[in-house]
Amino acid sequence: MDFEYTDDQDSLREAARALLTKAYGDYGKRRAVTQADPGYSTETWSRLAELGGLGLPFSEEDGGAGAGWIEAAVVAQELGRVVAPEPYVVSVGLAGRLVADAGTAEQRAEVLGAIASGERLVAVAHDEPGRRWSPTAGDTKATQDGEGWTIEGVKEPVVQGGVADLFVVSAVLPEGGTGLFLVEGDASGVERESFPAADGGRVARVTFTAATAVPLGSAGENRTATIATALDTARILAANEAVGIMEVALRMTTEYLKSRKQFGVTLNTFQALTFRAADMYVSLELATSITQWATMVLEDGDAAAISAAARRVALQVSRAGRHIGQEAIQLHGGIGMTAEYAVGAYTTRLTTLDHLFGDGTYALGALADGVGGYDAVDPLS
């Protein structure tokens, strides 16, 4: 595998970094954006669209840029570096993947084209109260009446569900299995209650009461496998965002240790603190390497391989994020706990990403479930 970016990918990274540094290079701008609804900058979102960043993984026939998931991962890392609140992983990675894999040609062109242009924000209404990280729906039901369909149920949390123009909704089908549907945000029977999340973004509780829905792709088809692959795609993109966050959190911490003085000397003079920073670097390198590998697996497109890679990267990045985030705050001392200093926001976003699609414990359990599928190894032979 070649872990080096191509010239085009490097150019994309530089363009995305320039755009996002201008938007959020000053941490105060990020704080101001997250303190007001919708919790992200629609202007920055539009500029990402103009850059082509929102349509990178989609084909040109569907209105995308015809690039790939590696390019999308490049943008996700740059969003992480400035802890940008834009819902890139959820809208492009999760909703986009569901529509790309399940939608008809007309639906792909309409919805993916709108995502790529920034014209419409598409949210995924999948998690339900008391139920998360599963590829199946729980209590949300889909009902067919003649040629039409309606959705009944509650979805929570729905990232940016309060302002989404369109929902991709999962629901239990009359014949069993989980189907996917498109529901307009302003449709009759859709109620949404938006509230701030811990990382400054917005999530919503969305209630569907006989809401008119359009099947995504073939009506009545069980889409459990499609949802599972989309969640794995989102896990790998989220890992890339987390790597960007961890890189900056480590850099901020080492710069602080080099500049903050105690007893007349800088903190990096104390060997114990330097060792802790070195351990953070090791965690970052392990997370970066497995994330690069998982992103290449994602690009290759084999669903079983993507699933295995997503579990591995989720576990490693979960552990690294927890380690680096907590150490960054502790090594900064009291200022690490203040809202005015950025390192706390970086740690909070790492925690949010960890819980968004399945934390380290969930990933470890999923890997453990598959241990029986491997050949036995005799350590003495």
Q: What is the pLDDT of residue 381?
A: 66
10 Å Cβ neighbour count for 52? 18
- Residue given tokens 């670097």 in the structure block: 281
- Angstrom distance (rounded) from CA 163 to CA 85: 14
Q: What is the pLDDT of residue 374?
A: 73
Q: What is the pLDDT of residue 301?
A: 86
Q: What is the pLDDT of residue 371?
A: 81
Residue 210: half-sphere exposure toward Cβ, Cα within 13 Å: 1
Are 204 and 154 within 8 A, CB to CB?
Answer: no
- Residue given tokens 């809202």 in the structure block: 339
User: Which is it for the CA torsion 344, 42, 12, 93, positive or negative?
Assistant: positive
**65 CB-near residues (< 8 Å, 6+ apart):** 52, 55, 56, 58, 71, 116
Go through the domains of the chain in sequence order and give each one's CATH number.
Answer: 7-120 (1.10.540.10), 123-220 (2.40.110.10), 224-371 (1.20.140.10)
Q: What is the pLDDT of residue 147?
A: 86
276 residue type, one letter? R
One pLDDT digit (tens) per residue for the chain, 381 residues: 667 899 999 999 999 999 999 999 999 999 999 999 999 999 999 999 999 999 999 999 999 999 999 999 999 999 999 999 999 999 999 999 999 999 999 999 999 999 999 999 999 999 999 999 999 999 999 999 888 999 999 999 999 999 999 999 999 999 999 999 999 999 999 999 999 999 999 999 999 999 999 999 999 999 999 999 999 999 999 999 999 999 999 999 999 999 999 999 999 999 999 999 999 999 999 999 999 999 999 999 899 999 999 999 999 999 999 999 999 999 999 999 898 899 999 999 999 999 999 999 999 999 998 887 777 777 676
- Angstrom distance (rounded) from CA 258 to CA 269: 8
Angle, helix 7-24 to helix 27-34, in steps of 10 degrees: 70
Q: What is the pLDDT of residue 283?
A: 98
Q: What is the pLDDT of residue 305?
A: 96
Secondary structure class of 55 (helix, strand, coil): helix
Q: What is the pLDDT of residue 173?
A: 98
Are 51 and 15 within 8 A, CB to CB?
Answer: yes
Q: What is the pLDDT of residue 1?
A: 60
10 Å Cβ neighbour count for 368? 10
